[in-house]
A and B are shown apart, each in its own frame.
Chain A
Amino acid sequence: MKILVGIKRVSDPDNANRVKVAADGSKVDPAGLEQKLNPFDEYAVETALRLTENAAANAERIGEVVVVSMGPKEAATTIRAALAMGAERGILVDANDAAIDGDVVSRALCAIAKEEKPDLVIVGKQQVDGDSNQVGQLTAERLGWPQATFAYSIVLEDGGKTALVGREVDGGVLYLRVSLPAVVSVDLRIVLPKNVVNGVTPASHPYPDTPRYASLKGIMSAKKKPIVETTFAALGVDPKPAVRYVKFESPSRRQAGVKVESVADLVDKLHTQAKVL
């Protein structure tokens, strides 16, 4: 099984409140914030690795994971992090990542998928900077493939010809059966211990409920793994977004209220002051 995983670096999501907007509103300035692998993309990498290994046989690789990212040269660090987790190789599309959007990313991902012919394209359900939640869906439509968005669980069936995917939807989990090749976007619970089943790793295998950490050996071997650099032009993609941001602003901040001394005080204020009880 061959899996293509789209990944992106984002400004440290735990400090998104320190993101600054330029005085003229022309751009968002993440200066000073560490660039990290988007959390959902880390889950996508973990999912792809679980699908392509026999975890019971010393994590023997039984498939190939190719990670793709778009951005400047420094984005290679993000790819290297995924290679250190265990992915086989990387592809970096040279881009000014402030000038592209999910639409451009999707068209480039399609072009790469057509060359690489993976069984699955896996992405995170959304980037926690732009919060758009679109690349998986756009890519699936353009490739003419089935999609399973916001995946909660994946079970490979029929020797990898189909997959049963549980999807996080409003009010529950919706199960779809998709034939491969397909596009999957992953949600949080995909990394629960039993939620990725590849038919090789025994169901009893004790996966942790988080993505794996890169081992020292993984980090060393990642340095030797190939990262191919390419461009939108070489992929035949016009990097012109279909949308344009014309202004960025900081939202009005909510003011902190008061501390109450007791439950009785709280109930009284909610009843007589806020009038919500």
Chain B
Amino acid sequence: MAVLVVAEIADGKVKKGTYSAVAAARQIGGGYGILAMGQGIAAAVEELRAYGATRVHRVDAASVSAPVAEMLAPTIAAVARAGGYGVVVGPASAFGKDVLPRVAARLDAGYAPDVSAVVVDGGKLSLRRPMFAGNVVGTMEVTSPVAVVSVRQSEFDAAAPAGAASPVEDFAAVPAEVSGVRFVRLEQTKSERPDLTDARVVVSGGRGLKNGENFTVVLEPLVDALGAAMGASRAACDAGYVPNDLQVGQTGKVVAPDLYVAVGISGAIQHLAGMKGSKVIVAINKDPDAPIFQVADYGLVADLFVAVPELTAAVKKLKAQG
């Protein structure tokens, strides 16, 4: 079954989750095309050509330049139909989660959301996905002729370039029937730090930080000493300490860095769902019975306001020694 990979392109750059979707497409087998939509995407298309796709479908049009599901879904569905694709795969990012169900509805396709693994057995595709905050893994089959799948970036290592450059085919954007929607603006959280979902090290803070100022004064020096991305528990986001796009957990982002440091986070089920795939987990919490210690490789029972500055200094010293 041929697979269509929907690339996520923002500001002319290919988002890394796209390559997790390519990795899933390779596992499904049967060849894959990649769909690139937007304006000013020449560099992105060139980059995507290196990933072994049978074709790169290029849709260069103003109407698909903003991430608006109503504008994108008709074109994605039309490319899927025209190319005879049996599976449409994209990243389970905010972008993918917004647009892919709409594509599924257009194609009368079953939708497999946020999958952690694909299994092909005797030509039959099934998909594994975490449910119940990661406490159950469900295996699903799609009974419709076409399947739409979003893949969890933390569970699929980004595909590497492979093979000869793919041919590019232009496809005309399909006009949207839904007219009543306009992109207004994107208020980006400015950060010099790595993306939460791409970072090798993530440092997250919880309600134990007590307020937003302590994220800046106490946590951020450690984040930067480690060259890490900063995350937060849902409780800290709910309390307004930090923006919601830092939320790690069932209802936020799922991360799996080499090192995850949880500071002042009790370890509610919802949080564990977003980070327990990390390679090494460190927890700093003053409550020795906090559930976070049940998943931590290294637990430090301590007052974070003492331990975190100490750790920051120790990390800086270690890095200075090279």
**Residues of chain A whose beta carbon lies under 8 Å from any beta carbon of chain B:** 11, 13-17, 19, 21, 28, 40, 102-103, 106, 125-126, 128-134, 137-138, 140-142, 144-147, 149-150, 152, 162, 164, 166-180, 182, 187-189, 192, 209, 241-251, 254, 256-260, 262-264, 266-267, 269-271, 274, 276-277
**B25 CB to closest chain A CB, in angstroms?**
19
Cβ of B132: which chain A residues have Cβ within 8 Å of it? 11, 16, 19, 28, 128-129, 131
Question: Do A106 and B105 contact each other (CB < 8 Å), given the known contacts A188-B237, A264-B314, A266-B298?
Answer: yes
Interface residue? B120 (CB, 8 A):
no
Which listed residue (B138, B197, B244, B318) contacts A245, Cβ 8 A? B138
**A141 CB to closest chain B CB, in angstroms?**
4
**Chain A to chain B contacts (Cβ below 8 Å), 19 pairs:** A13-B270, A130-B131, A138-B111, A140-B102, A146-B180, A171-B188, A171-B189, A172-B245, A175-B185, A176-B68, A188-B234, A188-B247, A243-B142, A245-B140, A257-B296, A259-B293, A266-B300, A267-B314, A276-B280
Question: Is there an interface contact between A243 and B143, defined as CB atoms closer than 8 Å?
Answer: yes
Interface residue? B27 (CB, 8 A):
no
**A102 CB to closest chain B CB, in angstroms?**
8
Interface residue? B307 (CB, 8 A):
yes
**A247 CB to closest chain B CB, in angstroms?**
4
Total contacting residues, chain B, CB less than 8 A? 96
Cβ of B293: which chain A residues have Cβ within 8 Å of it? 256, 259
Cβ of A103: which chain B residues have Cβ within 8 Å of it? 104, 110-111
Question: Is there an interface contact between B181 and A146, defined as CB atoms closer than 8 Å?
Answer: yes
Question: Do A256 and B296 contact each other (CB < 8 Å), given the known contacts A131-B133, A141-B101?
Answer: yes
Whole-angstrom CA separation of A15 from B269 in the bound complex: 7
- Which chain B residues in 189-242 approach chain A with CB under 8 Å? 189, 191, 195, 197, 201, 234, 237-238, 240
Tell me whether chain B's interface is mostly helix, strand or loop, or mixed: mixed
Interface residue? B301 (CB, 8 A):
yes
Question: Do A141 and B188 contact each other (CB < 8 Å), given the known contacts A13-B270, A132-B113, A250-B136?
Answer: no
Q: How many Cβ-Cβ contacts under 8 Å join chain A to chain B?
A: 280
Interface residue? B320 (CB, 8 A):
no
Interface residue? B258 (CB, 8 A):
yes
- Which chain B residues in 125-160 approach chain A with CB under 8 Å? 126, 129-144
Question: Is there an interface contact between B136 and A147, defined as CB atoms closer than 8 Å?
Answer: no
Question: Is there an interface contact between B105 and A137, defined as CB atoms closer than 8 Å?
Answer: yes
Question: Is there an interface contact between A244 and B244, defined as CB atoms closer than 8 Å?
Answer: no
Question: Do A164 and B95 contact each other (CB < 8 Å), given the known contacts A244-B143, A257-B299?
Answer: no
Question: Is there an interface contact between B298 and A249, defined as CB atoms closer than 8 Å?
Answer: no
Question: Is there an interface contact between A276 and B296, defined as CB atoms closer than 8 Å?
Answer: no
Whole-angstrom CA separation of A269 from B216 in the bound complex: 27
Whole-angstrom CA separation of A106 from B108 in the bound complex: 12
Question: Is there an interface contact between B114 and A209, defined as CB atoms closer than 8 Å?
Answer: no
Which listed residue (A19, A178, A256, A257) contacts B181, Cβ 8 A? A178
Question: Do A254 and B276 contact each other (CB < 8 Å), given the known contacts A19-B136, A169-B95?
Answer: yes
Interface residue? B59 (CB, 8 A):
no
Interface residue? B166 (CB, 8 A):
no
Name which of B99, B114, B141, B297 has the most chain A CB atoms within 10 A of its CB.
B297
Cβ of A166: which chain B residues have Cβ within 8 Å of it? 187
Question: Do A172 and B112 contact each other (CB < 8 Å), given the known contacts A133-B97, A147-B69, A177-B182?
Answer: no
Cβ of A140: which chain B residues have Cβ within 8 Å of it? 69-70, 102, 178
- Which chain B residues in 79-109 approach chain A with CB under 8 Å? 93-95, 97-102, 104-106, 108-109
**A189 CB to closest chain B CB, in angstroms?**
5
Question: Is there an interface contact between B307 and A250, defined as CB atoms closer than 8 Å?
Answer: no
| Chain A residue at smallest Cβ distance from B292 | A256
Interface residue? B310 (CB, 8 A):
yes
Interface residue? B311 (CB, 8 A):
yes
The 4 closest A-B pairs by CB, nearest first: A179-B180, A242-B110, A137-B101, A257-B297
